[in-house]
Amino acid sequence: MRINSGHTEFWSMNSRLLIQRRTDDRCLMKTGTVKAGLQAALLSLVIGLSGCAQLGEIADADSAAADTTTDSADAVASPEAPVAADDVAADAAIASDGDAQTDAATEPAEEVTPPSINPYLASEPVLSAMAKAKFDAALAKAKAAQSEAEVAAAIKAFEAVLAEQADLSGARVNLAQLYRMQGQTDTAMTQLKQAVKDNPNNLDGWNLLGVLQREQGDFTAAEQSYLEALQRWNDYAPAHRNIGILYELYMGRFNDALTHYEAYQALQEKPERRVKGWILLLQRRIDAGEGVDSAVPSEPEVAGEGA
């Protein structure tokens, strides 16, 4: 398994401050690292205009150097925590690309087609006044959480939200993140599975579920979760990036990884330099004959009845 490769997984639309317009599934915490022995976790703050925000990027910490800083404003630390060697390799690939140094100056910028509408944002859930009040209180606790005890209090607060209105998938995604911060991965996954059952269009829920499944080594399940998100909205950039990482680093499916990295780049207002480096390096490996073709499910072997 490759780690410390510089590849950074996303699980929300981006790591900058976002404005979400949903009361149901957008619940998030303050950027920061929870102390008292919790996993290092960098979260971007996402505030919902309607009173609900959803936890944003979380720094994965399964690498040898789980740094929570990156070179990019659009990146957070991940299972593949950034290391200087990988950044140098990506930069070298860009610098050695024949047209890389002159493209920006000599070619007109490509017109970017605006993404289609996120189906998750297309409908507004009905939220009771009591549920909203409890949610606001839970969000305040989560945003202020800086210790294990405060995270535990935020968990209880979101549980109270769900006791008031159990079908709020965003509250469950928040709860999953809080449990994950406590190292309770199985409980976090249970909440995420219920969240996407309650609202299959909760793309962030599918995406985070994929990250956790990947962390547990269940690459097939992780792939399916990312594909569930993309099936519902093919312009969901984080899933393109994450499934590209999965295909490249864990499944050896370089052509598929390249397809998703390119799709991710096409959805950015300005292509990310780091991902451009990944694409160039990956293309070179493909040209050298590395990697495998797209996986095609094979028929399971059936034991014969006898020779």
Q: How high is the pLDDT of residue 35?
A: 39
Tell me whether residue 97 is exposed, middle or buried, using C-beta atoms within 10 angstroms of its C-beta: 0 to 12, 13 to 18, 19 or more: middle
**What's the whole-model pTM score?**
0.70
Q: Evaluate whether 61 touches 37 at the Cβ level (below 8 Å).
A: no
- pLDDT given at position 116: 83
Question: Concatenated DSSP letters for 1-70?
Answer: ---SSS-----SS-SS-EEE--SSS-B---SS---TTPPP-----EEETTS--B--------STT--S--
- Provide the pLDDT for residue 114: 65
Q: Check residue 257 and give its pLDDT.
A: 97
Q: What is the CATH number of domain 18-104+125-287?
A: 1.25.40.10
Tens of pLDDT along the chain (307 residues) come to: 333 345 656 554 332 222 222 333 333 333 333 433 343 333 332 322 223 456 554 323 222 222 222 222 222 223 333 333 456 666 767 766 655 554 544 455 556 566 688 888 887 778 889 999 999 999 999 999 999 999 999 999 999 999 999 999 999 999 999 999 999 999 999 999 999 999 999 999 999 999 999 999 999 999 999 999 999 999 999 999 999 999 999 999 999 999 999 999 999 999 999 999 999 999 999 999 987 765 544 444 444 444 3
CA 150 to chain centre: 25
- 10 Å CB burial of residue 98 (0-12, 13-18, 19+) is exposed
Find residue 48's DSSP bridge partners.
20
**Residue-wise DSSP of 103-137:** HHHHSPPPPPPPP---GGGSS-----HHHHHHHHH
The pLDDT value recorded for residue 122 is 82
Kindly report, residue by residue over 234-279, the tens digit of the pLDDT: 999 999 999 999 999 999 999 999 999 999 999 999 999 999 999 9
In whole angstroms, how large is the CA radius of gyration of the chain? 20
Max CA pair span of the chain = 70
CA 170 to chain centre: 15
- Tokens found for residue 299: 């028929």
Give the domain ranges of the chain. 18-104+125-287
